[in-house]
Structure 1
Amino acid sequence: MGFLLRWAFAFLLLAATYNPTEWNVVRWGMANYATQIPLTILACLVLLVGYIIYLRATLRSIGLFGMLLILAVAGTLIWVLFDFGWISLANPTFNTWLGLVVLSLVLAIGLSWSIVRRKLSGQADVDDVDG
């Protein structure tokens, strides 16, 4: 359940920033920036805080190499699904949602990795030990 919540929040963060619908901060901000500057800046700062939390935790737990490795596995999985004819990449809307799912999985895995590693190995991270 914990991983699913981390993934859902990562997906919401990414989808709130940009998605193929009209309901995202990028499109809303571009349309309303001139009339609602403070609200646009507030929305962007709230999203920035979310990105800092997720990216910092992901980089600390799996690092850049881990992020690239997860992206490579996800990309190869998409390639296999495409090669078998199970998915089509002709629809740009589908491709955008697929990209959001993959990126949110990378962030969720990064945020959850220390917990998984501790349960598998029994070793705590230095940050996890109460002093």
Structure 2
Amino acid sequence: MVFLVRWLGAFALLAVTFNPTPWSFTRWAQAQYTTQLSLVVLFGLLLTVAYLIYLAATLRSLGLFGMLLVAAVFGAVIWVLVDWGVLATTNSAMNIWLGILALSRVLGIGLSWSILSQRLSGQATVDKVDD
């Protein structure tokens, strides 16, 4: 359940930022930056803070190599599904949603990795604290 909530948060963050529908921050910001620049900047900064939180936690738990490895696994799964004819690459909107799904899975796994690792190994994770 914890992973699901964290993954849905990552999915929402990515989907709010950009998606193939007209309802995304990037499309709204492109249309409104001349008339509502202060709101565009405010929401852009809020999204940036959210991305920093997600990326910092993911980098801390998985590291860059781990993030690339998890992304490669999801990329390979998508490749297999395309190879078997389950997915088609002709629909660009679906490709964007697949990218959002794969990236959100990477962030969701990164946020939940320490919990999963602790449960699998039985060892507690402790952050290093410098005095």
Do both share a fold (TM > 0.5)? yes
What do the CA deviations read for 1:54-97 (whole angstroms, capped 9, x no partner)?
Answer: 00000000011011101111111111111111110110000000
User: Where do 5+ consecutive residues of structure 1 fail to align?
Assistant: none
Q: Does 1:3 align with 2:3?
A: yes
In the alignment, the residues of structure 1 paired with residue 75 and residue 100 of structure 2 have an alpha-carbon distance, to the nearest angstrom, of 13
In the alignment, the residues of structure 1 paired with residue 62 and residue 92 of structure 2 have an alpha-carbon distance, to the nearest angstrom, of 30
Indicate the residue corresponding to 1:92 in structure 2: 92
Output aligned runs, 1:1-131, within 5 Å. Answer: 1-127=1-127
Where 1:62 maps in the other structure, the secondary structure is: helix
* TM-score for both structures, normalised by structure 1: 0.95
- The one-letter code of the counterpart of 1:27 is R
- The one-letter code of the counterpart of 2:17 is T
In the alignment, the residues of structure 2 paired with residue 37 and residue 82 of structure 1 have an alpha-carbon distance, to the nearest angstrom, of 41
Cα RMSD after superposing both structures: 1.3
* TM-score for both structures, normalised by structure 2: 0.95
User: Where do 5+ consecutive residues of structure 2 fail to align?
Assistant: none
Where 2:127 maps in the other structure, the secondary structure is: helix
In the alignment, the residues of structure 2 paired with residue 21 and residue 81 of structure 1 have an alpha-carbon distance, to the nearest angstrom, of 24
In the alignment, the residues of structure 1 paired with residue 15 and residue 27 of structure 2 have an alpha-carbon distance, to the nearest angstrom, of 12
Note closer, same or farther for the CA distance 1:120–1:128 as it changes in structure 2 (3 Å cut). Answer: farther
